[in-house]
Amino acid sequence: MFWCSLCFTLSILAHHVHLETSSNLTSFKIHSEPLREYSKCNKFTKSPTIPTITPRELETKDDPKTKKLSCISTPTTCKKEPYRSFDGTCNNLENPSWGAAKEPFAELVNNSYADGVHQFPETSEKEQLPNPRAISLLVFPPKNIIDFKWNLNTMQWGQIIAHDMSFSGRTTLINNNPVTCCDIKGHLTSDSAKNPFCAPIIIPVNDVVNKANGRECMEFVRTVSTKDIDCTSSKSPSFPISEVTAYLDLSLTYGNSRKQADSLREGRGGRLKVIKRNGGTWPPQAANVLQTCSGATTADEPCYVAGDARVNQNPQLTVLQVILLKEHNRIADTLSDINKHWDDETIYQIARRILIGITQHIHYYEFLTIFLGEDNMVRNKLIYPNAKGYVNDYNKNVNAAILKEFSTAAYRYFHTLIRGQLRLFTEYRFPYQSIRLSDWINKPSILEKNNGYDGLAIGLSFEPQDKSDQYFDLEITQYLLKGNQTLGKDLRAIDIQRARDHGVANYINLRSYCGLSIPKNFNDLCDYMSIKNVKALKSIYKRVEDIELSVGGSLEKHVPGTLVGPTFLCILIRQFYITRVGDRYFYENGEDKEIAFTLEQLETIRKGSSIARLFCDNGINIKSMQRKAFELVSPWNPVVSCDQLPFVDLTLWKDTKEEENSKCKDNV
C-alpha cells in the first residue's frame, strides 16, 4: 500500500513543477527614471563566508550604558528552583529579567528611528521610505514554486518556534481599548490620524486590485514599546515589547505566567485541561467564541484556548498545538502510572520538562539543520551531533532575549514557505479535501469535521511547502484576514512595516555587523543578488544605503546547504546561539543536577525524539509516518509503521528511590 502512496507522491511532484502562477503586477515601478545597464555586474561565483560566532561577541557587558534594560518587576534575588518559571524570570540568577515575558526585544545594531527614539525610519535624504505594499507588489510577487524536498510541516513547525519565542506587544498591555486604524473594508478610521499607535499601510495608486474594490488602506497597529509603559524616557531610544518569554520553553502550550498556567491545568494527574468532542480530544473551549475566533460564524463552534492567544490563527498551526497538548497528557499519564506516589504538581512539572526537552531536541537537531545547515550549526556550536554526555555550554553572561533583527526581519522571510491551498489526506495518503487558507483563518472548526485533524496532520507531512525564495502566495499577500470581505491584508507589506515599527537597522548596517562585504552602489549588489532584483531595488530606493533589511536580506542568493542568504543566516545563527547558551534549563545542560536529566534520560531524548513520533503518538488514527517527517515521502524516506519509529523511554523516569523507601517502611 505504501508503494501506491509513494507513486502518488511522485506524480504530484511531477505535476507541480509546471505550476508557476505569475502576477501581472510585477511591472509596478516607483521611480520612473531609466535604469542603466548592469554590464559590470559580477556573477555569484563563490559561497560567502559567515564569520564564526565568538562567545564574547554576544555577551552582555557590565557597562551600564550597554546593560540591557528591564521593564518588569523582578525579584532582587533568585532561588535556584528545579523547574522553570512560567514568565521566564530567574532563568538567569544574576539578571532575573533576562528572557522574561513583557521584556524588550534586543538588537544587534542600533535602531534606525528617524529621531533616534521612536519615529518611523526615513531615507538617507530624510524622506519617507517607499510604500510597503508597493514594495511587496514589485519585489515579492505571487508565484507558486514548490519545494521538492521539504514538506509543509517544515514551514508550520517554524511558526511553532516563532510563537514560542516572541509576540509583539499589543495595546491591550496598556489598556483595554482596541485600536482600529483601517477598518475591514479598507477605509481609514478616525483613529488613523490621531492615535499614536496607528500606522496604516496606504494602498498605492498602482495597486489595481485594491483600488478597484475601493480600498484605501490596510490595518497596521504599532507595537507597544518601552516608552509606552514608562520603561524608557521620552528622549531615550525605545524598544518594542514582547509579550512572551524568549526561551524555547513551550510557553505557547503552558502560558507565560503562573496564573495563566494554572488556568490551563486539570488539577489531577499532572494533566492539562481538554474536552472530548466529535471523536477527538481538544483544547478547552473559549468562553467567547465570536470574540476569540474572528472567523467563527456561530457562538458554539470550536474555538480553543491555549498558552498562546494565536492558537486558532490557522488550521495547520492549531493541529500542532493540539499535538503538543496531547503529548503532555500522554507523558503525564505514563508518569502517573509508573510513579503512583507522585502528586499532581510533580507529574505536571516533570512532564513539562520532558516535553520541552523533546521539542528542543527537534528544534536544534531535526528542524534548524534544514534552514541553517548542519555544518554551520556545528561550527558555531549550536549543536553537538556526536555528544555522548552533557553539553555544559550555559553562559550566564549571555542574554537570551529575542533580537528584533531576527523576529522582525530574518525569520519572517520564511513566510515565503506558506502555501495558500491545503489538502487533507487519508491514512493511505490519498487527498480527499482541499481548502483555501484564507477561509479558515481564526476558524479552527475544520479540525473537528470530516476527520480534519488527522487529514491536516498527514497533509503537513505529505504536501510540499513553497520554495524558499522571494515569491509569496496570494492567499497571504491579498486575502489574509479577509473575513467575509473579498480582499484582505498583505503579510509581506506588514512584515516590511513591522520592521520599520521596530526601528530595525538597514540592510547595509547588518551586513557590516556580520562581517560581509558592503555594497557602495547598486552595481555591487550583483555579487549576491540577481540583476533583475538589483534593478528592482534601484527602482524603489534612491540610494543603496536606504535598502531595508527585510527587503534586501530576502533577495540574497542562498548559502549552499541552507534556505537563506548570508545576512539572514548570520542573524539566525546568532539568535539560536544565544537562545541555547543563555538558557540555564536547556535540555543538554548537566552542571546543575537538580534541573538536569540523568545521562540515561538525556540519551533516550536524543534517540527517541522526532517530529514523526509526535505525529504518531498524538493523531487520532495515524498509524504510519515517514521517519524524517519534515522531509517529503520518497524512495529514501518511505512511509513506515509507527511501530518502527524510535521513542523516548519514559520508564527511565521511574522513581526507584521512593519505591525503595516505601519498601523499607513496609518492612519496619
* Residue 452: CB atoms within 10 Å: 22
Give the DSSP H/E element, type plus range, for residue 280.
strand 280-282
Q: What are phi and psi of 634, to 5 degrees?
A: -160, 175
Dihedral, 405, 503, 248, 628 alpha carbons, nearest 10: -40
Give the number of C-alpha atoms closer than 13 A to the C-alpha of residue 177, restricted to the C-beta side: 4
Q: Which among 285, 258, 276 is positioned nearest to 349, based on CA atoms?
A: 258
As a three-state string, the secondary structure of 630-666 is CECCECCECEEEHHHCCCCCHHHHCCHHHHHHHHHHH
List of E strands, 38-170: 103-104, 146-151
Are 632 and 148 within 8 A, CB to CB? Answer: yes
Other beta carbons within 10 angstroms of residue 190's beta carbon come to 10
Among residues 640, 609, 611, which one has the least CA distance to residue 623? 640
| Whole-number Å distance between alpha carbons of 343 and 662 | 15
Whole-number Å distance between alpha carbons of 246 and 257: 13
In terms of Cα–Cα distance, which of 330, 329, 332 is closest to 347? 332
The residue among 319, 254, 348 whose CA lies nearest residue 614 is 319
User: What's the rounded Cα separation, in Å, for the pair 393 and 381?
Assistant: 9
163 is catalytic: yes
User: What are the residues whose beta carbons fall under 8 Å from the beta carbon of 534, sequence distance 6 or more?
Assistant: 38, 41, 522, 523, 525, 526
Query: Of 380, 404, 324, 381, whose CA–CA distance to 157 is shortest?
Result: 324
User: What's the angle, vertex CA 400, arms to CA 394 and CA 401, rounded to 5?
Assistant: 170
- H-type alpha helices, 419-530: 452-462, 474-477, 491-501, 507-513
Per the listing, cell 513553497 goes with 466
Report whether 31 belongs to an annotated binding site: no
Q: Comparing C-alpha atoms, which of 72, 576, 637, 77 is closest to residue 367?
A: 576
In whole angstroms, give the CA distance from residue 200 to residue 120. 12
Concatenating the DSSP letter of every residue in 32-45 gives -SPPPP-TTPPP--
Residue of 15, 16, 118, 163 with catalytic role:
163
CB contact at 8 A, 151 and 630:
yes
Q: Positive or negative, the Cα torsion across 419, 422, 423, 427?
A: positive
β strands within 385-506, DSSP E: 421-425, 431-436, 464-466
Alpha-carbon distance of 219 to 199, in angstroms, equals 8
Handedness of CA 598, 600, 602, 604 (dihedral sign): negative
Q: Hey, what amino acid is at 339?
A: N
Task: List the alpha helices (DSSP H) in 241-343.
Answer: 251-254, 258-263, 289-292, 315-338
Handedness of CA 116, 118, 121, 125 (dihedral sign): negative
Tell me the catalytic residues.
163
Annotated binding site for heme b: 415
Annotated binding site: 415
